A and B are shown apart, each in its own frame.
Chain A
């Protein structure tokens, strides 16, 4: 929003380069009125951006240079918090878990989202109902879903193990088994989120001009070739958008964990954001928590910039 304002202030001078100094920017009174009007439009949003994003970010950075526990101010410790990151096994574990989540989540949720969107794009009776079914997990509260899934995947009383043993397969540890827990959590997260991808893909599929599809079928393209050469290229920008969106979702992954595993057992499902929360609000080490948060910020900024540059170069993004 603030960008709009600067543009507006700059315009009169740039737009009328040849005019005399006295005319520059029009009569002073009108110019002031214009400025005031401009700020009255941009002001509220500027305040929101400043108050809710930039100030807290600055404050958190200052916090990351102290040993504050939020109860008291704390003392300045310079860059010690950042140095301590290197030797913190839980920090590295949380990064590994987050990367694992991203690696599973993005490809599967995109593929699943597109597949279901293709199915739901057909003229079937009661299509509205089916579409709603896939959207419900996305709309429901993640905290409630975490609680629900903790029961569904319970190793002793859960429905899933009940089905497994009934069909003669061995029961699994799921969320109680440190080597399976992150996989199960990723699966649950995909289930809760891919409804969003379905909706976006559905909109993109309906944007594909009918004529193109008809032309393809006249040219003798079967379903696979239509999909490969028309559908996939058409939704490519949307796929890129959903991948970046999914990346952000993964980096912020928190609420489901809070009510299902709390990062356990033995830190096997801890993610970066969950670790930040623990450091700040369970262990009273808000300064160190802020440093971890800033490490996450730097990492995600880098990932998104690389994603955008790559996406632009390949023509995925406009």
Chain B
């Protein structure tokens, strides 16, 4: 209760502000758009630079930017508070996992009729990013970023331990063995790290392992949990053996991403992460290499997190202008500027043929492996508004297993029971 009050206060204030300043753009003059980009530091500067150059070349549209919050993490609550007051932006950076919730909102228009335009080149986007922008046939926005979980390794630590860099067809046994060799209790060096702070950052490490073992997250109709299958238990055992028996894992319970800090300080050998950590890792001057995820029987599937530039309804004129802006922003030329500034991966296939792509590869050594790894992202996480809750149940199971408090099968069964009860509730 108490914490709803400030939000409502913000809503009320927002309503007052909206009454005085909205201007829906249906009158003459350039269309004004509000973009909440949710980026900070380098990434924020990069997007603002791009917007400025768009405003110069497109006199009939004026895009204003705002971070919309300190980080993209809080974007959904901010936008939903904006819905109530009519102060929501035209475009916002939205995590892919929010897609199902967004698609249900009447304030999110279906962009299907716009994406067939010749300039959009919709089919040029990677298939999994298109899947993430299209929920039950409703196109909620344009793909903004795509990442796939891969492995960053510290070349110096591996060399010191006489370990050869991971080969493209390495296995989880190799991963476990390397991790064990790299761990040194005396110097507080760890093989790898698993997050257990209870959110999606915990759960998404498990899904690739489940998929590689032939398991799945939910039943095909999405009504039952399927992650507690023998395959799922096998997958979690891999993580458990490393954490509990080998003690070669730094178990990260804080939301402060201490695991990443460990890698940046040269005390972590293998880091399950992706290109999004590159600016920090480069700033820390760590000599890193990229590898795809270890495989199970030759299967190297990974999990990807495509995000969206979601569009919100402020009348058809502003929706059209938003589509025009996003069409421009997602073209290869603009994407390359963004990629070079932030280390983001290409969202479109045609970017790989651009001359600028070679410069990008030069600036971020090894990132080609991460781009190739996008092909290993074959399945997506369930597209339902209930997924975040299911994910929290699984995260709890992972945490108690890695802390040695329960065994994989029992923990997953417990999470499956809770998930089944949740999924049985109609609606949402």
Chain A residues with a Cβ under 8 A of chain B? 51-53, 55-57, 59-60, 67, 69-72, 75, 147, 150-151, 154, 156-157, 175-178, 251-252, 254, 258-267, 273, 276-278, 280-285, 290, 293-294, 296-297
Distance to closest chain A CB from B396 (angstroms): 6
| A273 CA / B400 CA spacing, docked (Å) | 23
Distance to closest chain A CB from B381 (angstroms): 15
What 9 A-B pairs are tightest by C-beta distance, nearest first?
Answer: A293-B1, A56-B8, A283-B389, A264-B198, A150-B254, A70-B80, A71-B105, A176-B253, A281-B77
- The answer to whether residues A71 and B403 also contact, given A150-B254, A281-B76 and a CB cut-off of 8 A, is no
Chain B residues with Cβ under 8 A from A264's Cβ? 196-198, 253, 399
Say yes or no for B382: interface residue by CB 8 A criterion: no
- The answer to whether residues A67 and B427 also contact, given A156-B188, A261-B253, A265-B399 and a CB cut-off of 8 A, is yes
| A157 CA / B389 CA spacing, docked (Å) | 32
Chain B residues with Cβ under 8 A from A259's Cβ? 255-256
Chain A residues with Cβ under 8 A from B80's Cβ? 70-71
Contact with A along B74-104 (1 / 0, CB 8 A): 0011001001000000000000000001101
Say yes or no for B3: interface residue by CB 8 A criterion: yes
Pick from A56, A251, A260, A284: contact of B4, CB under 8 Å: A56
Q: A56–B198 contact, CB under 8 A?
A: no
| A278 CA / B199 CA spacing, docked (Å) | 10
Q: B396–A282 contact, CB under 8 A?
A: no
Q: B3–A254 contact, CB under 8 A?
A: yes
Q: B389–A285 contact, CB under 8 A?
A: yes
Say yes or no for B180: interface residue by CB 8 A criterion: no
Contact with A along B181-210 (1 / 0, CB 8 A): 000000010000000111100000000000
Pick from B8, B12, B251, B396: contact of A267, CB under 8 Å: B396
Say yes or no for B405: interface residue by CB 8 A criterion: yes
Pick from A56, A251, A294: contact of B5, CB under 8 Å: A56
4 additional A-B residue pairs with CB within 8 Å, beyond A56-B9, A264-B253, A293-B3: A70-B80, A72-B106, A266-B396, A267-B396
Distance to closest chain B CB from A255 (angstroms): 10
Q: B4–A265 contact, CB under 8 A?
A: no
Say yes or no for B2: interface residue by CB 8 A criterion: yes
| A59 CA / B76 CA spacing, docked (Å) | 20
Q: Name 7 A/B residue pairs within 8 A (Cβ), A-sorted.
A: A150-B256, A156-B188, A262-B255, A265-B196, A265-B253, A290-B1, A290-B4
Say yes or no for B14: interface residue by CB 8 A criterion: no
Residue of A nearest to B11 (CB): A56
Pick from A72, A154, A176: contact of B403, CB under 8 Å: A176
Contact with A along B374-402 (1 / 0, CB 8 A): 00000000000110110010001001100
Main secondary structure of the interface of A (DSSP, over half): helix
| A71 CA / B77 CA spacing, docked (Å) | 9
Chain A residues with Cβ under 8 A from B288's Cβ? none
Q: A296–B253 contact, CB under 8 A?
A: no
Say yes or no for B309: interface residue by CB 8 A criterion: no
| A52 CA / B427 CA spacing, docked (Å) | 31
Q: B4–A294 contact, CB under 8 A?
A: no
CB proximity to A under 8 Å, residues B338-388: 385-386, 388
Chain B residues with Cβ under 8 A from A59's Cβ? 8
| A106 CA / B428 CA spacing, docked (Å) | 41
Say yes or no for B250: interface residue by CB 8 A criterion: yes
| A55 CA / B396 CA spacing, docked (Å) | 36
| A194 CA / B105 CA spacing, docked (Å) | 45
Distance to closest chain B CB from A223 (angstroms): 42
Say yes or no for B258: interface residue by CB 8 A criterion: yes
Chain A residues with Cβ under 8 A from B251's Cβ? 176
Residue of A nearest to B103 (CB): A71
Pick from A52, A258, A284: contact of B388, CB under 8 Å: A284
Q: A154–B258 contact, CB under 8 A?
A: yes
| A67 CA / B101 CA spacing, docked (Å) | 13
Distance to closest chain A CB from B222 (angstroms): 16
Distance to closest chain B CB from A97 (angstroms): 14
Chain A residues with Cβ under 8 A from B8's Cβ? 52, 55-56, 59-60
Pick from A51, A266, A290, A297: contact of B399, CB under 8 Å: A266
Q: A273–B427 contact, CB under 8 A?
A: no
| A258 CA / B254 CA spacing, docked (Å) | 10
Chain A residues with Cβ under 8 A from B256's Cβ? 147, 150-151, 259
